[in-house]
Each structure stands twice: as structure tokens, then as C-alpha cells.
């Protein structure tokens, strides 16, 4: 039997393949380039390209592509065949170092937020050798970064790599103060738990709203939803189990360590979590994972929905971004240590996260903002739009006692200092998990729970890495010349906690009381995406990204513009789809039902000569009245769409949010009420019960 070990990573040009196929000196040179993040020498590149090509061709590849992540949040690829024609009608299969390092896609059709006019559309892609090349179907995919010729960044990978550099540099400096001079690099790690829905492919095909917008724009609630909690961790349907097995196998071939799979809370909802890896690799892997989910589902007669809220009334889907930092010597910096010094170090890094999250709440909020995610955040199934940190009572007590200089109640006596003598005994395993916190400390990592299921994980991690880099940099400034280092660390941890503890909240973040309390604490509550995007270019954010060379002001402004635009386009498409379905499908169906009812009523009356009203008459009246109201609401929606089209930028996205969305809700309400009384045979769309409880 074919074992997992035998095919795991078989479609990846990974370290093993490189060592096997590259001349020793080339392999060494490449590894050094990767380690130090230098430019690749062209001779080395030629040799690598040749080995990679031969490897890929042996595996059946015919094409190659620079696989990159434009600002759409998806991945993009343009395939080129390896062939070079020869005289006499023959071809050779060719792939040069130049082609490996650089590609030149036509960048004109990707969103750039006004960074380039289309006539100067050429951008280039550059290989990210820290993320291995892989084969997808018949194509060798080379993970790359994407820039314009004038040097502006046009993708999500470049800033991510820069943010990883930034935090590494600052963390290494801090570690040197702790005497850890052997650490040359610090790595951010990410494990992304992916939620998704699977429904029957036939139902999917029949729902134009799902096909065009990813979510159902209509649909009365199913009599049964998720109230019985009978889906979470339940046994898998055969078809779903087969899909998951197929998916795991394809992921494993690509070296993606898919690990945990289970049913989620909502009917038809599932989750897949891989073992964590270095951030940029984890982000690439998550993109591939989403792509494969969509591709493999139809092979099993299913459709995979990655939208944050495909169905009203049951939970939506998120993506938990588990995040930590570790050294190249293998130490997780967010794991409590075994001795006082390591604990002091742990508390310092923890303090940096607390400070960063408090000072840049807005950035984290922005990094998870989208039209889709607006349906989740704050809807009692996902964290609120307010950013806060869960530490657990024990850890919060420790920090509190350090901050107040008072002794720790209960378990630990004596004044807390982080010097060599008295050390806080830090619990290694904070088992009291809080599932309502947006940013939960889970023992050796933070779980950032706000991102939406369809998100690229690049955005949230760019924000996290950069803001923590900033906090570490400030800490270094305070500590570097301290006479008594141990004392200085204690004081810093103490004052930092006093200053930023408002961001720490260990209670139930879904509770309405928290919204009030958060407001008293002065925490931000950016309820909608347009509200959040408006903060993107706040002076402090421009300063932050500028300081670490992640984005310049112009790039940040362009990204802000793209976010507003993307939001407006999403609602625009939803609204038009809604009109289309209401006017062309639902109203005709309801009218047909009404006229059939009327005819039937007349027949019945004639047959038995009855004068008093019958049930059908009552239904007929309701159908006619709701159909009229529905029609009226579509006209109103049409009007606000026309108004929205005249606007642009932030004004436009706010208009969509504040004026168009409520009108869409009206249309939906009338249609859903109709669905409840129109006979099943007449209804033109698969219903919620059909979709959520298929067999």
C-alpha cells in the first residue's frame, strides 16, 4: 500500500530534492542565499533552474508559472510552456535562471489603487526562494513577489517578507541583551485553521447568488438549524469523508501538513488545520489549500463555500491565525521558560504583543475588514469588532502583581521581581481556553480569531509582525543602556502593563456588556469595514509602516483606496444579483402561484357553490400583497444603487454600507416571507433545508 510518507512532499522541489539534484556548491550557495535573504547569483540561478526543470518534467509538468498574490487576495498565475521551437519542427524544453528569478506578467489588470497608469503597466515577479516551488496539475509553480518597475509593491507577499525581516531584526537585538548572541534570526510562525462549507453541487448550480457572490442573498431559515449542536465534531458524511481524504492526499503531495479535520458548529460546516510553519510558507499553503478545496469538491458532487457568511441564521466561517515567534535555535519566545531569566524574556515578548495590540488595535481591525466578514464580527458567533487580548487569569494575575508591586494572591507569595531570586511561576499550559476573544493567548502562541475564512493571511500577519517589531524596538531603546538589566526589565514589564492593560479582557467578549465596558476603557469599536478602512492612513500608521520600510505613504493610500473599492464592488454585485433574482425568478414564481391559486379558487367555488372564504383565498391575498411589497422594494434598491454609482472612494463604500445594505435587507425580508407561503413546487431556488440538510 502507498503510505503517506512515500508521497508527502513528492510534488515539491524541497530541500531533499535540491540536495539530491543540485551540485554541492550550488546547493550551498542557494541555502546561504535563503538564510541571509541575499540576491541570487545568476550562475547559481541557472543551475537551479535546470535542475528544477528536469525534476518538474519527470513529474509530468509541461508549463511553469510565477505564482503570486496580487492585491485581490487571491493567487495569480500565467502559464508558459517549457518548449523552445528548433529548426525542423522540433522543440527543446528550456528554462533559464533568468526565467526562474524574474517574470514579467502584464500587471495592468490587477488592482493597484492608482499606483500606475495602465500604459506603464509592466510589473515583474521575483522568486521567493524561502517558499519551495511545487507542481500543480501540469504546471511548475514558482512562488514569487510582485512589484512594479518603479519599485512599488503590488502584492501581499513582499510586505509580508519585509515585516518578517523587521520583527526578526528587533527581536534579535532584544535577545542579545539577554545574552542570546547565538540567535541570528527570529522567525514568525503561523498555523491557519480554515473553516468552510460543503453543499451539494446541484444546489450550488441552481443558486445564482452563491455562484456570483459566494453567499445566499435569499433564504428563509430552515426549521432546523444548528440549535441542537449535533454537527460539531459529529461523524462525517461518506461523501464529505471522501472529499477530505482526497483533499488531504493532494495537500500532502504538496508538502502541506494538513493535520486536523472535523465538522464545525453549523450544519455542512467543516474545518481543516495544518501544522504550523514559517509565516510566508503558511500563507502560501493556505492559499493553495483554499484553491484545492474549491477544485476537489466538484469531484465529489459538492461545492465548497469559503465565504464568511454563506447562510443567514447559522454560524459563518472564520480562519484562526495562530501566531508565534521563535528563534533559529528553536526557542518559542512566547512560551514560558524554566528559569527566571527565560521567564523574564517571555514576559518581555508577551509585553511587546500587549503594547502592540493596544497601540495598533485599528490595524488589526483593518486587516480583517471586508464586506463578507462584516456579517460575522460582533454577531455572537465571532469576536466583536473590538480588539482585545485574552491572557487567562493566572497570567493576568502575574502581570498585575508585577505592575502593582504587590504580592500575588494565593499560589505564589512574596513580591514579584523578575530578577534572579524571586520568579513568577508561569503556568505552562493555560487550559482555560476562551473562545470568544479576538486575540487569545493559548499557552505558547496567540490565536488571532478575527480573520474571515476567505482572507489571505498575509494582511493580518503583516500588521502583527510590524506592530510587534515596533514595540520591541522601543523596548530595546529603553533596555540597551540599563545598569541593572534585570531590574530594568521588571520595571518595563510593570509600566507597560499599567499603560496597556485596558486591552486585556478575560471575560466573555460576545456579551453585550463588553461593548459598554470597552467603550469606558477607551478601546476602539470600528463596527463596519468602511469605518475601519478610514483609519488605515492615520498618521501613526503611515509612520509605522514607513519606519520599517513595509509601505510608503503612497502605497498605503493606494491600499486604502483598493479596500474601499473592493468593498463597494462586492456590495454592488450583491445588490445587482439580488435584483436579478427577485425580478426574474422570485416575482414570476410568486405570481404564477397566485394566478394558479386564483384559478383553483374559482374552480372550487363553482364546483361546490361555496361563498365563504377558504384557506387558499387567504394565502392568495398574502402572496399578492408580499409580491407587491417585494416589487416596490426592488425599485427602491434600484434607486440607491444608481446613487451609489455616482460616488467613489470612502464616500461610496459608506453609502453602500449605510444606504444600500438596508435596502437589500428589505428586499430579502419580503422574499423570505414569500418563501414561507409559496408552495414548494413553485419556489425557484433550493431552500435552506435543501442545502443544509442534503444527504
- Which one among 54, 109, 118, 260 touches ligand ADP, defined by CB under 6 A? 260
Q: Is 332 in the site for ligand ADP (CB under 6 A)?
A: yes
Q: Is 329 in the site for ligand ADP (CB under 6 A)?
A: no
- The total number of residues shown for the chain amounts to 695
Give the single-character DSSP code of 331.
-
Closest CB to Mg ion among residues 387, 560 = 387
Closest CB to Mg ion among residues 273, 582 = 273
DSSP bridge pairs for 324: 189
Minimum distance from residue 320 beta carbon to ligand ADP (Å): 6
The pairing of beta strand 269-274 with beta strand 258-263 = antiparallel
Residues that bind ligand ADP (rule: CB under 6 A) add up to a total of: 17
- Which one among 103, 191, 372, 383 touches ligand ADP, defined by CB under 6 A? 191
Give the single-character DSSP code of 420.
S
Cα distances from 533 to residues 361, 536, 538, in angstroms, run 13, 5, 10
Q: Of residues 493-522, which lie at the interface with Mg ion (CB under 5 A)?
A: none
What binding mask, one character per residue, do residues 168-197 give for Mg ion by CB under 5 A, x or -? -------------------------x----
- Residues 6+ away with beta carbon under 8 Å from 645: 572
- Which one among 127, 204, 276, 548 touches ligand ADP, defined by CB under 6 A? 276
SS3 letters across 480-549: CCCCCHHHHHHHHHHHHHHHHHHHECCCCCCCHHHHHHHHHCCCCCCCCHHHHHHCCCCHHHHHHHHHCC
Closest CB to ligand ADP among residues 276, 694 = 276
Give the single-character DSSP code of 82.
S
Q: Is 445 in the site for ligand ADP (CB under 6 A)?
A: yes
Q: What 3-state DSSP class applies to 275?
A: coil
Q: How far is CA 49 from the centre of its chain?
A: 32
Give the single-character DSSP code of 375.
G
- Which one among 50, 75, 189, 226 touches ligand ADP, defined by CB under 6 A? 189
DSSP state letters, 89-143: G-EEE---HHHHHEE--B-TTS--TTSS-GGG-BEEEEE-TTS-EEEETTEEEEE
Rounded to 5 degrees, φ, ψ at 29 are: -65, -40
Cα distances from 694 to residues 40, 237, 271, 302, 688, in angstroms, run 53, 10, 19, 11, 10
Give the interface segment with Mg ion, choosing from 9-17, 67-75, 297-305, 320-328 (CB under 5 A): 320-328
- Which one among 14, 96, 130, 444 touches ligand ADP, defined by CB under 6 A? 444
Closest CB to ligand ADP among residues 118, 260 = 260
Closest CB to ligand ADP among residues 62, 332 = 332
In the list ligand ADP, Mg ion, none, the entry touching 683 (Cβ below 5 to 8 angstroms by class) is: none
What binding mask, one character per residue, do residues 399-438 give for ligand ADP by CB under 6 A, x or -? ----------------------------------------
DSSP bridge pairs for 146: 125
- Residues 6+ away with beta carbon under 8 Å from 358: 499, 500, 502, 503
Q: Is 450 in the site for ligand ADP (CB under 6 A)?
A: no
CB 144 within 8 A of CB 161: no
Minimum distance from residue 433 beta carbon to Mg ion (Å): 9
Best CA proximity match to 227, nearest among 571, 695, 694, 692: 692
Give the interface segment with ligand ADP, choosing from 133-141, 443-451, 475-483, 517-525 (CB under 6 A): 443-451
Q: Is 100 in the site for ligand ADP (CB under 6 A)?
A: no
- Which one among 112, 125, 324, 466 touches ligand ADP, defined by CB under 6 A? 324
Best CA proximity match to 310, nearest among 205, 208, 215: 215
Minimum distance from residue 324 beta carbon to ligand ADP (Å): 3
**Calpha distance 436→514 (Å, rounded):** 11
Residue with cell 514595540: 471
Rounded to 5 degrees, φ, ψ at 485 are: -60, -45
Closest CB to ligand ADP among residues 442, 627 = 442
Closest CB to ligand ADP among residues 274, 310 = 274
In the list ligand ADP, Mg ion, none, the entry touching 148 (Cβ below 5 to 8 angstroms by class) is: none
* Tally of CA atoms within 13 A in the half-sphere of 12 that contains its CB: 24
Q: Which residue is nearest to ligand ADP (CB)?
A: 191
Give the single-character DSSP code of 313.
T
- Which one among 322, 430, 529, 568 touches ligand ADP, defined by CB under 6 A? 322
- Which one among 40, 160, 190, 395 touches ligand ADP, defined by CB under 6 A? 190
Cα angle 411, 413, 415; round to 5: 135
Q: Is 320 in the site for Mg ion (CB under 5 A)?
A: yes
Rounded to 5 degrees, φ, ψ at 553 are: -60, -40
In the list ligand ADP, Mg ion, none, the entry touching 332 (Cβ below 5 to 8 angstroms by class) is: ligand ADP
In the list ligand ADP, Mg ion, none, the entry touching 536 (Cβ below 5 to 8 angstroms by class) is: none
Give the interface segment with Mg ion, choosing from 124-132, 296-304, 318-326, 327-335 (CB under 5 A): 318-326
Q: Is 193 in the site for ligand ADP (CB under 6 A)?
A: yes
Give the interface segment with ligand ADP, choosing from 155-163, 166-174, 444-452, 626-634 (CB under 6 A): 444-452
Give the interface segment with ligand ADP, choosing from 75-83, 322-330, 399-407, 546-554 (CB under 6 A): 322-330
In the list ligand ADP, Mg ion, none, the entry touching 276 (Cβ below 5 to 8 angstroms by class) is: ligand ADP
Contact residues for ligand ADP, defined by CB under 6 A: 189-191, 193, 260, 273-276, 320, 322-324, 332, 444-445, 447
By CB under 5 A, name the binding residues for Mg ion.
Answer: 193, 320
Amino acid at each position: 500500500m502507498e503510505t503517506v510518507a512515500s508521497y508527502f512532499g513528492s510534488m515539491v522541489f524541497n530541500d531533499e530534492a535540491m540536495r539530491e539534484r543540485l551540485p554541492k556548491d550550488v546547493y550551498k550557495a542557494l541555502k546561504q542565499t535563503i538564510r541571509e535573504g541575499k540576491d541570487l547569483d545568476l550562475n547559481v540561478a541557472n543551475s537551479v533552474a535546470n535542475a528544477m526543470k528536469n525534476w518538474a518534467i519527470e513529474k509530468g509538468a509541461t508549463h511553469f508559472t510565477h505564482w503570486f498574490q496580487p492585491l485581490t487576495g487571491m493567487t495569480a498565475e500565467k502559464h508558459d510552456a517549457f518548449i523552445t521551437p528548433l529548426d525542423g519542427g522540433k522543440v527543446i524544453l528550456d528554462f533559464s535562471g533568468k526565467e526562474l528569478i524574474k517574470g514579467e506578467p502584464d500587471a495592468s489588470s490587477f488592482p493597484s489603487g492608482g499606483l500606475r497608469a495602465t500604459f506603464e503597466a509592466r510589473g515583474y515577479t521575483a522568486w521567493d526562494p524561502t517558499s519551495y516551488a511545487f507542481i500543480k496539475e501540469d504546471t511548475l509553480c514558482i512562488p514569487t513577489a510582485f512589484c512594479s518597475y518603479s519599485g512599488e509593491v503590488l502584492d501581499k507577499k513582499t510586505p509580508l517578507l519585509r515585516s518578517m525581516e523587521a520583527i526578526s531584526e528587533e527581536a534579535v537585538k532584544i535577545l542579545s541583551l539577554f545574552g542570546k548572541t547565538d540567535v541570528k534570526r527570529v522567525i514568525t510562525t503561523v498555523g491557519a485553521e480554515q473553516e468552510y462549507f460543503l453543499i451539494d453541487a446541484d444546489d450550488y448550480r441552481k443558486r445564482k447568488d452563491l455562484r456570483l457572490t459566494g453567499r445566499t442573498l435569499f433564504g428563509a431559515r430552515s426549521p432546523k438549524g444548528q440549535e441542537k449542536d449535533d454537527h460539531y465534531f459529529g461523524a462525517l458524511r461518506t461523501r464529505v469523508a471522501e472529499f477530505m481524504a482526497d483533499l488531504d492526499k493532494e495537500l500532502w503531495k504538496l508538502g502541506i501538513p494538513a493535520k486536523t479535520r472535523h465538522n464545525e458548529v453549523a450544519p455542512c460546516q467543516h474545518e481543516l488545520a495544518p501544522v504550523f510553519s514559517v509565516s510566508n510558507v503558511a500563507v502560501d499553503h493556505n492559499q493553495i489549500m483554499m484553491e484545492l478545496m474549491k477544485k476537489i469538491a466538484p469531484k465529489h458532487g459538492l461545492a465548497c463555500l469559503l465565504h464568511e457568511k454563506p447562510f443567514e441564521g447559522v454560524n459563518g466561517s472564520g480562519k484562526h491565525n495562530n501566531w508565534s515567534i521563535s528563534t533559529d535555535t528553536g526557542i518559542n519566545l512566547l512560551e514560558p521558560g524554566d528559569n527566571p531569566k527565560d521567564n523574564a524574556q517571555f514576559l518581555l515578548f508577551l509585553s511587546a504583543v500587549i503594547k502592540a495590540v493596544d497601540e495598533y488595535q485599528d490595524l488589526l481591525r483593518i486587516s480583517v475588514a471586508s464586506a463578507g466578514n462584516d456579517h460575522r464580527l460582533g454577531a455572537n458567533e465571532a469576536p466583536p469588532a473590538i480588539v482585545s487580548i485574552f491572557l487567562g487569569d493566572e497570567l493576568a494575575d502575574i502581570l498585575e502583581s508585577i505592575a502593582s508591586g504587590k504580592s500575588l494572591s494565593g499560589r505564589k507569595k512574596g513580591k514579584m521581581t523578575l530578577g534572579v531570586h524571586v520568579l513568577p511561576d508561569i503556568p505552562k499550559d493555560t487550559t482555560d481556553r476562551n473562545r470568544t476573544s479576538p486575540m487569545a493567548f493559548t499557552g505558547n502562541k496567540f490565536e488571532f480569531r478575527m480573520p474571515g475564512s476567505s482572507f489571505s493571511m498575509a494582511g493580518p500577519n503583516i500588521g502583527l509582525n510590524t506592530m510587534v517589531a515596533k514595540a520591541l524596538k522601543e523596548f530595546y531603546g529603553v533596555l540597551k543602556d540599563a545598569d541593572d538589566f534585570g531590574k530594568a526589565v521588571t520595571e518595563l514589564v510593570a509600566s507597560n502593563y499599567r499603560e496597556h492593560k485596558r486591552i486585556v479582557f478575560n471575560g466573555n467578549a460576545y456579551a453585550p456588556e463588553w461593548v459598554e465596558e470597552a467603550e469606558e476603557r477607551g478601546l476602539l469599536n470600528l463596527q463596519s469595514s468602511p469605518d475601519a478602512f478610514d483609519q488605515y492612513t492615520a498618521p501613526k500608521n503611515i509612520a509605522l509602516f514607513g519606519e520599517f520600510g513595509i509601505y510608503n505613504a503612497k502605497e498605503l493610500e493606494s491600499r486604502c483606496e483598493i479596500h474601499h473599492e473592493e468593498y463597494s464592488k462586492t456590495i454592488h454585485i450583491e445588490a445587482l444579483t439580488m435584483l436579478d433574482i427577485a425580478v426574474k425568478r422570485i416575482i414570476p414564481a410568486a405570481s404564477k402561484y397566485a394566478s394558479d391559486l386564483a384559478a383553483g379558487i374559482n374552480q372550487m367555488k363553482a364546483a361546490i357553490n361555496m361563498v365563504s372564504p377558504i384557506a387558499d383565498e387567504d394565502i392568495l391575498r398574502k402572496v399578492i400583497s408580499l409580491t407587491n411589497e417585494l416589487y416596490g422594494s426592488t425599485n427602491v434598491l434600484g434607486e440607491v444603487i444608481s446613487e451609489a454609482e455616482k460616488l467613489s472612494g470612502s464616500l461610496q463604500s459608506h453609502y453602500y454600507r449605510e444606504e444600500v445594505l438596508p435596502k437589500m435587507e428589505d428586499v430579502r425580508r419580503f422574499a423570505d416571507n414569500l418563501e414561507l407561503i409559496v408552495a414548494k413546487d413553485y419556489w425557484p431556488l433550493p431552500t435552506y433545508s435543501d442545502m443544509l440538510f442534503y444527504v
